[in-house]
Amino acid sequence: MHTFEAIISLDKFPIIIGTNIFDSLIAFLKNYTKNNIFIICDNYFKVNTNSYSESLFFIHEYNNLFIDGGIESKTIETYQVVIKELVKKNIARDGIIVSIGGGVIGDLSAFVASTYQRGIDLVHVPTTTTAMIDSSIGGKTGINHLEQVNLIGSYHNPKAIFMDLRLLLSLNNRDYYSGICEAIKMSITSDKEMFLKFLDIYELVEQRNLDTLEEIIYWSVLTKLKHVSNDYKEKSLRLILNYGHTFGQAIETYYGLYQEKLKHGEAIALGISIAAKISDLLFENDDSKNLLLKTHEVINKYNLPDKFNKINSPDIPDINILIKNLFNDKKRISQGNRFIICESIGNTKIKILNDEKILIKGFEHIY
Ligand SMILES: NC(=O)c1ccc[n+]([C@@H]2O[C@H](COP(=O)([O-])OP(=O)(O)OC[C@H]3O[C@@H](n4cnc5c(N)ncnc54)[C@H](O)[C@@H]3O)[C@@H](O)[C@H]2O)c1
């Protein structure tokens, strides 16, 4: 079990990672009046029972609302449903929202918490690899609107995060590996030793060994905190977390919001394959060749796609559409096309790339 303090900008809060941690959550909630606590939980845990279900019974002792996980729930309509329930239950300004779910329930609950009565307290209990490794850390909240991802959102840090690794045992394989991809990506940009470990431990990850998962998630949380704590609103250091994202997003845009054909982490896996190829085209040395080779090796070991023929759809986009999407990306800045590129594993640079031919060759690499 790991218990430590996160510091993001002016906010400080505890993070607990382990198994059987719900007693600590219940103890934490004693800081609030019971009828001022409102739990928003992924419907998965109402409908499905398994070995840890009993430890979730406490939810029924508080005000609660179960909402389906999945991208379809991250909407303004669901937001309104939650707000109505909060009003109905008379949740006051000094109350707290507890979010139990994946990135969808987490982003939605956090957006509710940041806006209801101009902002109330929030606790995250992430239940997917994506939510533990990525979305519960960093304070970003959001809902999708007008077919655009996180068009409406804000920044709002929680008062605490409780991660129970047993929850990951029931996650389906695609969602499981999609979240792990974020951790692999961070190791490529900032920690060669961890990257090499990923190449070794893939069988333990496949078996969902809880000690291995604890090590990966603890490392990921610390690494993400390092990137966001001094750069809360995404100025420079935080941008390194976007490695592979700009390329992945160009692909994600083609498949649209609903992720059956391509999950976010799968798009990132394609994106980091493109980024590694571009790096090799730019540097053409032993380090860049090694980066390219090992990127494919790790993606394959973790059941993620590094080429279009490995995704869950026969529908493959025309390359020109992807290049067009790339140049429409909101993260592009006026001075040129800023991309995060690794020179070697663990060594990242922000580069302005205006040579469209190199970008095209990067995309061609995944066909
Ligand atoms: N805020 C951020 O910084 C940030 C970062 C990355 C991703 N995100 C957002 O996260 C969302 C994706 O998150 P996600 O992949 O967790 O999706 P999700 O929340 O939809 O969860 C995926 C599926 O798993 C189910 N599920 C949840 N926990 C489970 C468990 N323990 N066992 C079995 N099934 C379970 C859900 O019901 C859902 O069907 C996207 O909306 C994305 O925009 C936000």
Distance (Å, whole) CA 101 – CA 121: 17
Domains 2-170 and 173-364 share a fold: no
Would the pLDDT of 53 be above 90?
no
* Mean pLDDT of the region 18-34: 96
Residues 6+ apart with CB under 8 A from 219: 183, 191, 194
Kindly report, residue by residue over 97-145, the tens digit of the pLDDT. 999 999 999 999 999 999 999 999 999 999 999 999 999 999 999 999 9
Would the pLDDT of 54 be above 90?
no
CA of 282 to the centre of ligand 1 (A): 35
pLDDT at site 228: 87
Smallest CA separation from ligand 1 atom 42, residue: 103
User: Quick one: which of 25, 37, 27, 97 has its CA closest to 61?
Assistant: 37
As for ligand 1, residues whose beta carbon falls within 6 Å of it are 42, 44, 69-71, 74, 101-105, 107, 127-128, 130-131, 134-135, 138, 140, 149-150, 167, 170-171, 175, 264
Kindly report, residue by residue over 222-242, the tens digit of the pLDDT. 999 998 887 655 566 788 888
Mutate to test the pocket of ligand 1, among 46, 73, 130, 174 (most ligand atoms within 8 A of CB): 130
pLDDT at site 338: 81
* Mean pLDDT of the region 49-67: 90
Q: List the chain domain ranges.
A: 2-170, 173-364
**CATH number for domain 173-364, candidates 3.40.50.1100, 1.10.150.20, 1.20.1090.10, 1.10.3260.10:** 1.20.1090.10
Share of the chain above pLDDT 90, in %: 83
Kindly report, residue by residue over 184-196, the tens digit of the pLDDT. 999 999 999 999 9
Supply 225's token pair: 């905190």
Kindly report, residue by residue over 253-297, the tens digit of the pLDDT. 999 887 889 999 999 999 999 999 999 999 999 999 999 999 999
Helix ranges restricted to H, the chain: 22-29, 44-47, 76-88, 103-115, 129-130, 173-190, 192-200, 202-206, 210-228, 245-255, 264-283, 286-301, 319-328, 356-364
Exposure class string for 245-277: b at 16+ Cβ within 10 A, else e: bbbbbbbbbbbeeebeebbbbbbbbbbbbbbbb
150: three-class secondary structure by DSSP: strand
Kindly report, residue by residue over 163-174, the tens digit of the pLDDT. 999 999 999 999
- Closest atom of ligand 1 to 178 CA is 15
Give the global pTM.
0.96
* Mean pLDDT of the region 42-66: 90
Would the pLDDT of 298 be above 90?
yes
Distance (Å, whole) CA 129 – CA 285: 34
Kindly report, residue by residue over 320-350, the tens digit of the pLDDT. 999 999 887 655 555 567 889 999 999 998 8
CA of 360 to the centre of ligand 1 (A): 31
CA of 108 to the centre of ligand 1 (A): 11
CA of 9 to the centre of ligand 1 (A): 25
Supply 67's token pair: 């909402």
Identify the residue whose tokens are 């951790």.
183
Would the pLDDT of 246 be above 70?
yes
CA of 130 to the centre of ligand 1 (A): 6
Kindly report, residue by residue over 203-212, the tens digit of the pLDDT. 999 999 999 9
pLDDT at site 238: 80
Tell me what percent of the chain is helix, strand and coil, each rounded to the nearest 5: 55, 20, 25
- Closest atom of ligand 1 to 131 CA is 16
Supply 363's token pair: 């995309």
Smallest CA separation from ligand 1 atom 36, residue: 69
Q: What stretch of H or E contains 237? A: none
Smallest CA separation from ligand 1 atom 2, residue: 135
Q: What is the CATH number of domain 2-170?
A: 3.40.50.1970
CA of 126 to the centre of ligand 1 (A): 9
Please state, rounded to an integer, the average pLDDT across all residues of the chain: 93
CA angle 266, 72, 135 (to 5 degrees): 55
Supply 276's token pair: 């590694």
- Closest atom of ligand 1 to 68 CA is 37
